Amino acid sequence: MAKQFPDINDTHRDFMERQKIFFVASAAAGTHVNLSPRSTDSFRVIDRVRVAYLDRTGSGNETASHLNNGGRITIMLCAFDSKPLIMRLFGEGIVHHRTSDIFRDILSEHFGGTAPLGTRQIVTLDVEMLQTSCGFGVPLFDYEGERPTLDRWADAKGADGLLAYQREKNQISLDGLPSGLFDHEDASVRA
């Protein structure tokens, strides 16, 4: 049976911190819904009503495009190796560019002050509702470890290559919405 909560309690936080993967879904009016899996090494609970994740360079920048154009965001976590549970965080998302004070504060306070190469921005979700459900249909999986592929790819591209890639692939969404990636900062600090 699904249960709704107005904020993140200690039990919720403990569950989130034990997971290895989370999923981000976003959409703006009239757009495709984007759904992306991410490693929880980039995810943090900021407080009872706010979570954040480091957003690294990828093949697109759909979430930022959606959020910067009035879109919505949902984050979902599932138990794959323990007691079944699905947790969804619904709310408003905000994209914080690398040069913003909020980016620097969250990076310093919650990520040890260091962003992996290729970090584009930090996305925060202001939780309007947290919902849990049974998760009985979620299969069991064993965690083997993180893939080193994204780090290797970013290292091989280097700062200049990542910047060129972002200019080519991360400025416009599938539906033609601007991501705002280059609107707020000096491009030389991005990679």
Asked whether 82 and 14 are in contact (CB, 8 A), the reply is no
Judged against a pLDDT cut of 80, whether residue 48 lies above it is answered with yes
Q: Is the dihedral of CA 148, 117, 33, 143 positive or negative?
A: positive
Report the Cα–Cα distance between both ends of the chain, in Å, rounded.
Answer: 44
Q: What is the pLDDT of residues 110-144, one digit of tens each?
A: 999 999 999 999 999 999 999 999 999 999 999 99
Residue 13's closest CA among 52, 54, 44, 53?
Answer: 44
Per-residue confidence (pLDDT) for residue 112, from 0 to 100: 97
Proportion of the chain above pLDDT 90, given as a percent = 95
| Distant-in-sequence, close-in-space partners of 184: CB < 8 Å, separation ≥ 6 | 97, 99, 100
pLDDT for the residue numbered 3: 98
Does residue 189 register a pLDDT over 70?
no
Amino acid 186: pLDDT = 52
Task: Determine what percent of the chain is predicted with pLDDT higher than 70.
Answer: 96
Distance, CA of 38 to chain centre: 7
Longest Cα–Cα distance of the chain, Å, equals: 50
Q: Is 168 exposed, middle or buried (0-12, 13-18, 19+ CB in 10 A)?
A: exposed
CA atoms within a 13 Å half-sphere pointing along the CA-CB vector of 92: 5
Asked if the model's pLDDT at residue 155 lies above 70, the reply is yes
Average pLDDT over residues 36-44: 97
Tokens found for residue 40: 């929880």
User: Residue 161: which residues within 8 A CB-CB, separation 6 or more?
Assistant: none
Task: Identify the bridge partners of residue 38 per DSSP, sorted by sequence position.
Answer: 22
The tokens describing 106, both together, are: 């969250």
Asked whether residue 187 carries a pLDDT value surpassing 60, the answer given is no
**Does 188 have pLDDT greater than 80?**
no
Is the model's pLDDT at 54 over the cut of 70?
yes
pLDDT over 80 at 191, yes or no:
no
4 vs 38: CA distance, rounded Å = 24
Confidence grade of residue 190 (pLDDT, cut at 50, 70, 90): very low
Q: Would you state the structure tokens that stand for residue 29, as one six-digit string?
A: 């009016």
